Amino acid sequence: MGESIDNCWSTIGIWSRTDEKCPRLQEVLHCRNCDVYASAGRSLLTREIPRDYQEYWTALLAKEVMTKSTDALSIVVFRLGDEWLGLPTKMIKEISEMRPVHRIPNAKSAVVKGLVNVRGELKLWVSMGTLLSVDKGENTPSSLLRKSILERLVIFVKDSEQFVFPVSEIIGTHRIWRDNIRDVPVTAANSMYSHLAGLFELEGRHVGLLDQELLFNSLKRSLL
């Protein structure tokens, strides 16, 4: 422990409320000009930090980091037709350019559109718009041009199974605080809302966070 410091500036100095004042004030005018005050300041800056003080702040800062990392979700946000949706980043294996789809003869599922070759592997191409009952949006010359530029393929993975689906646009990966994710209104009953885990706002957009378990189970049922 360092030696105790006489804080005379608050007892008999300029900041004291007593009538008795330090006689040196007549000479230095203010405690800031006094070598005793300056020496005390240097002692405070150079003395050893108490061990319990270090441990307190180490534990506090470590707790804040843990809280922040567990209270935020990393989400890939994309547009499907006119709807903005998101999936946890850990469920996205890859995002790639559009590729040709090979139709499956006599396919009965409206969701399964065919097979697509991704890095030499054939993967199931599914229509997320059909599954979630999301409209493609109005086709205009400008929207068709935008579509040809912005469309991407998303490879969604869970365990060892993968699905590929096209999206109209991707705006990237974002960290969303859990406190900012609202519950889905109980009155929302269409297919898209029934697959949502919550809702949040991002840069003026209303985004639906897809429930990965519900989505994956619905995709598997579409294969039957």
Task: Output b/e per residue, 2-39; b: 16+ Cβ within 10 A.
Answer: eeeeeebbeebbbebeeeeebebbeebeebeebebbee
Whether the per-residue pLDDT at 70 is higher than 50: the answer is yes
Least confident of 98-102, 138-142, 212-216: 138-142
Q: Where are the domains of the chain?
A: 8-69, 71-221
Residue 1: per-residue pLDDT: 46
Higher pLDDT, 141 or 157: 157
Q: In what order do the strands lie in the sheet with 205-210?
A: 169-177, 72-80, 83-88, 205-210, 196-202
Binned at pLDDT 50, 70 and 90, residue 186 comes out as confident
For the record, the structure tokens of 160 come out as 């060892």
Higher pLDDT, 137 or 168: 168
Higher pLDDT, 183 or 9: 183
Binned at pLDDT 50, 70 and 90, residue 16 comes out as confident
CA proximity to 88, closest of 77, 72, 74, 70: 74
Higher pLDDT, 177 or 143: 177
pTM for the predicted model, two decimal places? 0.65
Higher pLDDT, 221 or 70: 221
State the architecture of 71-221 in CATH terms: Beta Barrel (2.40)
pLDDT, mean of residues 167-182 = 93
3-state secondary structure 145-209: HHHHHHCEEEEEEECCEEEEEEECEEEEEEEEEHHHCECCCCCCCCHHHHCEEEEEEECCEEEEE
